[in-house]
Amino acid sequence: MATAHRSRSNFRQANDSQTGYIQGPLKWAIALTASLGAILEVIDTSIVNVALTDIQATLGATVSEVGWVVTGYAIANVVLIPLSAWLGDVFGKKSYFVFSMAGFTIASVMCGFAVNLPMLVIARILQGLCGGGLLAKAQAILFETFPPAEQGVAQAVFGVGVISGPAIGPTLGGYLTDTLGWRWIFFINLPVGIAAVIMAMLFLRPDTKSPSQQQTSVDWWGIGLLIVAVGSLQALLEEGEQDDWFDSGFITALAIAAVVGLVLFILRELGTKKPAVDLRVLRHRSLAAGSLYSGILGMGLYGALFAVPLFAQGVLGFSATQTGWLLAPGALASAIVMVLLGKISTKVDARILIGLGAVGTTLVMFDLARITPQTGTDDLFWPLVWRGATTVLMFLPLSLATLGTLPKQDISAGSGFYNLTRQLGGSIGIAILTTLLAQREAFHRAILLAKLTPYDLQTTQRLDSLTGAFQSRGADAATAQQQALAALEQLVNTQSAILSYADIFRFVGVVFLCSLPLLLFLGKGGAAAKAPVGH
């Protein structure tokens, strides 16, 4: 047994010393391990959304209070993502990944056993802190494990979870909440988390240095300023719409803290020799441009998936489970295209694929903007399938074009920054779309109500028709007229909601169309990947 273990260790070391990459079946075990961690983190970002009403009723919380179950996780998550490279250097990459995975699993169990809201929020914050180390670190592990020629397939395995997660989360969350109760959206992480921890301990490359040999100095100022800047920004984005944005003193204070904290953070990190977040990696043009585009991709990926469930549940009257099944075919399409694209992505200019994905997503958004009161599941099926497919055309090539040509020593820091911009892009997109949705709905409602006057022939005819319908069901004249007026108001509300959703779908499409010039600043990705990274 010991001889077999030594042989496997020697084989791995030989491969590492010759190429710097893992060879044989072991690399695929590492890919599965890293991807499991990323999938859990991404799914838990959205899985709780459909259960907030049940959580609120069980724990006796208000709407604003229960919102911190989502906000606390999101803030903790975005704070840790850029620190993941530094923490990996301090504690060792394998040790940090195993710790994050174990911590995430334990925090999930704590969420499931929470008996009051403060306990649940604290557990979600711990879950977010541990989850922040999984996403960026998982992608960095794959780039450091696979040779450039195989990066496409490796990143496809990782991308399946990241792309499908926002759709799988509500689907799974809705089903578990409706059948077993909201606590099971957290308990389900236990078996997967345990399996991921065991796999990480068995398969991940051993740390080359002991913790005592790692970087010992701690950039406490940098960490503190990062928490202030990114935490304030995330809280602003999560709570802004609910608090009427800058009409609220709290939101204004968050905005000031975010701006001041960000400026001081940048000055601090560029001025210290051992920063907590190495901003100098942005000297690579591919990383700078790719991270900016990643923010736009996050807006489209999370923003569009945020709008569709709201439309399905708010306008079409779908349940959480029905909404989840509506999104499922798109998630499946993403997974299929991701696997197929992984085989050719290193052979094709990434900018061409990203451009095709952006144009395709724009067309899908304009198609979704054609919704009407008669829109149903069949009308949404193909647009959502194509949305899942076209998003992949941007996600996978963008990852390769952004990170594939970085020197090995910069991959961890670059991956952290790249994933941070996507997460923040998603938060910014949701905040913008939420505000735009409310404003456009009020705008359309005002226009429709202005046309409903006693002097408008169509209005009086519709009102008479509705009144007659209610009278035929047994209502007296006065009651029937009141019911007709209420029904007419409901029609106005429904129509204004539909028009506002159409507006935001068009808005997302225009954003992707306007993003095309950024492709000029990206590298070829696929062609560049043929050269060994770091040499």
Q: What is the mean pLDDT of residues 162-168?
A: 70
Q: What is the mean pLDDT of residues 10-38?
A: 67
Tokens describing residue 29? 């075990």
Q: What is the mean pLDDT of residues 486-504?
A: 82
Q: What is the mean pLDDT of residues 110-115?
A: 91
Distances, alpha carbon 84 to alpha carbons 94, 133, 258, in Å: 12, 5, 21
Q: What is the mean pLDDT of residues 130-144?
A: 79
Highest mean pLDDT pick, 116-130, 365-379, 425-439: 116-130
Q: How confident is the model at residue 20 (pLDDT cuts 50, 70, 90)?
A: low
- Identify any residues that bridge with 415 across adjacent strands, giving them in sequence order: none
Q: What is the mean pLDDT of residues 481-489?
A: 71
Q: Would the pLDDT of 110 be above 90?
A: yes
**Domain for residue 281, yes or no?**
no
**Domain for residue 2, yes or no?**
no
According to DSSP, residue 213 is labeled G
**Domain for residue 11, yes or no?**
no
3-state SS assignment for residue 420: helix
In whole angstroms, give the CA distance from residue 437 to residue 308.
12
Domain match, 384 and 532 both: yes
Domain match, 86 and 167 both: yes
Q: Would the pLDDT of 526 be above 60?
A: no
Read off the CATH number of the domain in which 299 is found: 1.20.1250.20
**Domain for residue 475, yes or no?**
yes
Please report the pLDDT score of residue 453 as a whole number. 65
Please report the pLDDT score of residue 9 as a whole number. 47
Domain match, 129 and 91 both: yes
Domain match, 134 and 59 both: yes
Q: How confident is the model at residue 122 (pLDDT cuts 50, 70, 90)?
A: very high
Q: What is the mean pLDDT of residues 220-248?
A: 79
Please report the pLDDT score of residue 226 as a whole number. 83
Q: How confident is the model at residue 39 (pLDDT cuts 50, 70, 90)?
A: confident
Tell me the torsion sign for CA atoms 127, 133, 136, 137.
Answer: negative
Q: How confident is the model at residue 529 (pLDDT cuts 50, 70, 90)?
A: very low
The answer to which of 288-292, 387-391, 406-410 has the lowest mean pLDDT is 406-410
Q: What is the mean pLDDT of residues 100-117?
A: 91
Please report the pLDDT score of residue 187 as a whole number. 92
**Domain for residue 280, yes or no?**
no
Domain match, 36 and 182 both: yes
In whole angstroms, give the CA distance from residue 98 to residue 206.
11
Domain match, 98 and 128 both: yes
Please say which residue of 208, 243, 259 terminates a domain: 208
Domain match, 297 and 396 both: yes
Q: What is the mean pLDDT of residues 225-238?
A: 81
Q: What is the mean pLDDT of residues 5-16?
A: 45
Q: How confident is the model at residue 14 (pLDDT cuts 50, 70, 90)?
A: very low
Domain match, 41 and 136 both: yes
Please report the pLDDT score of residue 8 as a whole number. 45
Domain match, 522 and 390 both: yes
Q: How confident is the model at residue 103 (pLDDT cuts 50, 70, 90)?
A: very high
Q: What is the mean pLDDT of residues 318-325?
A: 75
Q: Would the pLDDT of 105 be above 90?
A: yes
Query: What is the rounded average pLDDT for all residues in the chain?
Result: 78
Highest mean pLDDT pick, 34-43, 302-311, 439-448, 478-487: 439-448
Q: What is the mean pLDDT of residues 152-171?
A: 73
Please report the pLDDT score of residue 123 as a whole number. 92
**Domain for residue 438, yes or no?**
no
Domain match, 57 and 159 both: yes
Domain match, 110 and 192 both: yes
Residues spanned by the domain of 131:
23-208
The answer to which of 257-271, 436-450, 511-525 has the lowest mean pLDDT is 511-525
Q: What is the mean pLDDT of residues 415-429?
A: 80
Please report the pLDDT score of residue 322 as a whole number. 78
Q: Would the pLDDT of 6 be above 50?
A: no
The answer to which of 150-159, 167-176, 209-218, 296-305 has the lowest mean pLDDT is 209-218
Please say which residue of 208, 235, 255 terminates a domain: 208
Please report the pLDDT score of residue 104 as a whole number. 92
Domain match, 142 and 124 both: yes
Highest mean pLDDT pick, 243-247, 367-371, 418-422: 367-371
Count of the separate structural domains present in the chain: 4
Count CB atoms within 10 A of the CB of residue 187. Answer: 16
The string of DSSP codes covering 30-63 is HHHHHHHHHHHHHHHHHTTGGGHHHHHHHHT--H
Q: Would the pLDDT of 207 be above 80?
A: no
CB proximity list for 534: less than 8 A, separation 6 or greater: 20, 407, 408, 409
**Domain for residue 66, yes or no?**
yes
The helix/strand count (H/E) of the chain reads as 20, 0
Indicate the length of the chain as a whole number: 535
**Domain for residue 452, yes or no?**
yes
C-alpha closest to that of 84 among 142, 154, 135: 135
In whole angstroms, give the CA distance from residue 175 to residue 486.
34
List, for residues 336-391, the tens digit of each pLDDT value. Answer: 888 787 777 777 788 888 888 889 988 988 998 888 878 878 888 898 888 888 88
Q: Would the pLDDT of 400 be above 70?
A: yes
